Structure 1
Amino acid sequence: MVSRSIVDLPLHGGKCPPWLFERMVRLSRAILLLVYQEFGAKELIKRLSDPFWFQALGCLLGFDWHSSGLTTTVGGAIKEALKPYFNDLGIYVCGGKGKRALNTPQEIIFWGEKQGLPKQAYKFVTLSRLTARIDNNAIQDGFQLYFHLFIFSKDGQWGVIQQGMDEKTAYARRYQWYSEKVLDLCENPHTGIVSSVKKENVLNLVAKESKPVQNSLVRLLTEDLSLVIKELTPKVHLIFKEDHTLTLKDLSVKSLKKVWEKVYQNPPSDFQSLLLTEGMGAKTLRALTLASELIYEVKASREDPVVYSYAHGGKDGHPYRLNKQLYDTTIQELEEILRKAKLGETEKLSLFKRLPKIFNIG
């Protein structure tokens, strides 16, 4: 099993038809509740955070296996499926696509406070922001985030599913995280990397090889800016090659001045704090990275952090057209398993007694 994953998917037009989305919600609900019943909340978050398990789930639900919509639509179906059970399971799914992604912090705080976990909720808000900053800014692969799902449990486990779009190629890339796989948020933190497209010269500041650069970035911001500019001047003519990722355009004195004005009096203590600094976007990080490489003679990783199954067919007819009857039979069989489940725990028994009502059956 690989340790980190990104999935590249082409953009497909159109929307998921209502008849399919309704079935996706019902089938995903049955599957996820079975996982919870058998293995618990921790395992459920772990599986949702696994790129290959998530991809297989999307295929089982009948969505386009190679479409960017698999992430957003399956993510939306999961949130819709589990929402009636948030309090019963102690698992919460926050965020989504576009504006919903921007509302993630408010959703995390709402559910955290509702469970009497305000301190933990604010910790999760920071994690939500940090994972987004890393995938949008610290990994500069040309994909801009537009989808962010943050999943957490009352016991402290968390997972992230987010996706970015490369407007030039119309491909999307999915990034996934799981709390227990993350030993260091700023060193190879993802749960896997799967891609049909590997890019050249990707600036990856959270690769293990970039650790010296992370340290030099923090150190650089404690230096006098005039001395930094003076140190850079004789070197800029010698360093650049035609295939170099960073160029003189990235070494904007104006950008560097803005950074120093914000952080010089109170510089970040570590790379994680630096990423969370207001205004520390991708362009600023490029300028600081280049300056650090030139002054401290360190080198950031340029390696793209890159490294699936059908049951019911796909929405767009690939590999074959969806079989609604087979799809409904699968749902009914899983629901029947859930009905017959004999659970010793009162909390879980009460949970599954409500299944017929939520599924609108029986």
Structure 2
Amino acid sequence: LEPGAAPAPAQPLLPHLVMPAHHDVRESDVVMHRLHGNMAAAAERGPADFAELLLVPGVGARTVRALALVAEVVHGAPCRFSDPGRFSLAHGGKDRHPFPVPLKVYDETIGVLKSAVQKARLGREEEIGALRRLDDQSRQVERYVTGPSLKEIVAGEFDQSHLLGGRSVFGWEPPPDEVTAGQNKKA
């Protein structure tokens, strides 16, 4: 070593996520223009045309939104992971943070990714390319798109949770009217 030169690190630094010191996902933890970009790209593709693009029948609009976030994890650069809480909006959490896991969406996402990997091994890159294009589209539209607040997004997920097989460690999610009826009985 030359005098004054720092020794080389024993192991090169790898990309990593730095998680906040709290469990709940707050708007300050999310770069909202990136989230809105993911959501806009998913909406622009639409469920019917994205399903055709991926050649996987039955992929719904909510799954396309989850895939937009998953595509970024698969194809994104480490600098894109400055707000890891945003990725919890793909499939929620088993403890209901930020919302219960929508099992139907979760299963459809796994099915699409499994199919993409299997076909890529056979030299057919259509599905992997579709995910890459979805990530590219998210990055392009995030510069100018706007959307609802994180609070509104999470509230919408809770409202739809029972329709998407929402589940947490507390059980299956009831429809919102059952929740408010139960709260009124307690009052």
Q: Same fold (TM over 0.5)?
A: no
Indicate the structure with greater strand content.
1
Greater Cα radius of gyration, structure 1 or 2: 1
Structure with more contact order per residue of length (Cα contacts < 8 Å, sep ≥ 6): 2
- Tell me the TM-score range normalised by the shorter chain: 0.3 to 0.5
Indicate the structure with greater helix content.
2
